[in-house]
């Protein structure tokens, strides 16, 4: 099956620094990638949708200047949390939409746990 990887799997950083998270589709091309945020014992909340070669579409309430998304190729999207603060600590999950699928099924990465001190 289609595999999506994320790197790093966990990261700890100091307040005020920036952190980049990579999301890769390993064996397929992804038309669209999605970034989610999951708080403990809560559901996934969609942050943004990114299409290769174009600007990401952010959900209401998500600061696009804080959560920078780049989707430079059909297999890689990155999320950069700029000037991170403790309230940004969360579990970030990406998914990729397989281009060749007739249904456009989403495949999820294993997530990245960010802790901001």
Partner 1 sequence: GDSVTQMEGPVTLSEEAFLTINCTYTATGYPSLFWYVQYPGEGLQLLLKATKADDKGSNKGFEATYRKETTSFHLEKGSVQVSDSAVYFCALSDRQGAQKLVFGQGTRLTINP
Smallest separation (angstroms) from partner 1 to the CB of 67: 16
Identity of the residue, 26 or 117, whose beta carbon is nearer to partner 1 in the bound complex: 26
- Quick check: 8 binds partner 1 (CB under 8 A)? no
Segment near partner 1 (CB under 8 A), from 11-19, 35-43, 65-73, 77-85? 35-43
Q: Which residues pair with 67 in a beta bridge?
A: 81
Q: Taking Cα atoms as reference points, which of 110, 95, 79 lies closest to residue 10?
A: 110
Interacting residues with partner 1 between 63 and 92 (CB under 8 A): none
The DSSP code sequence of 23-62 is EEESSS-EEEEEEEEE-TTS-EEEEEEEETTS--EEPTT-
Q: At 15, list the tokens.
A: 């307040």
7 forms beta bridges with 22
Give the position of tokens 């950069």.
80
Q: How many residues bind partner 1, per CB under 8 A?
A: 24
- Shortest distance, position 96 Cβ to partner 1, whole Å: 11
**Contact residues for partner 1, defined by CB under 8 A:** 4, 32, 34, 41-46, 49, 51, 57, 93, 95, 97, 103-111
């Amino acid at each position: 099956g289609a595999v999506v990887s994320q790197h790093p799997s966990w990261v700890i950083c100091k307040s005020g620094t920036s952190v980049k998270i990579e999301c890769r589709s390993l064996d397929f091309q992804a038309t669209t990638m999605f970034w989610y945020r999951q708080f403990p014992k809560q559901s996934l909340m969609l942050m943004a949708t990114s299409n290769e070669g174009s600007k990401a579409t952010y959900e209401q309430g998500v600061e696009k200047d804080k959560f920078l998304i780049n989707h430079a190729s059909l297999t890689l999207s990155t999320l950069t949390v700029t000037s991170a603060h403790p309230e940004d600590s969360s579990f970030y999950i990406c998914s990729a939409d397989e281009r060749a699928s007739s249904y456009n099924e989403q495949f999820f990465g294993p997530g990245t746990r960010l802790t901001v001190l």
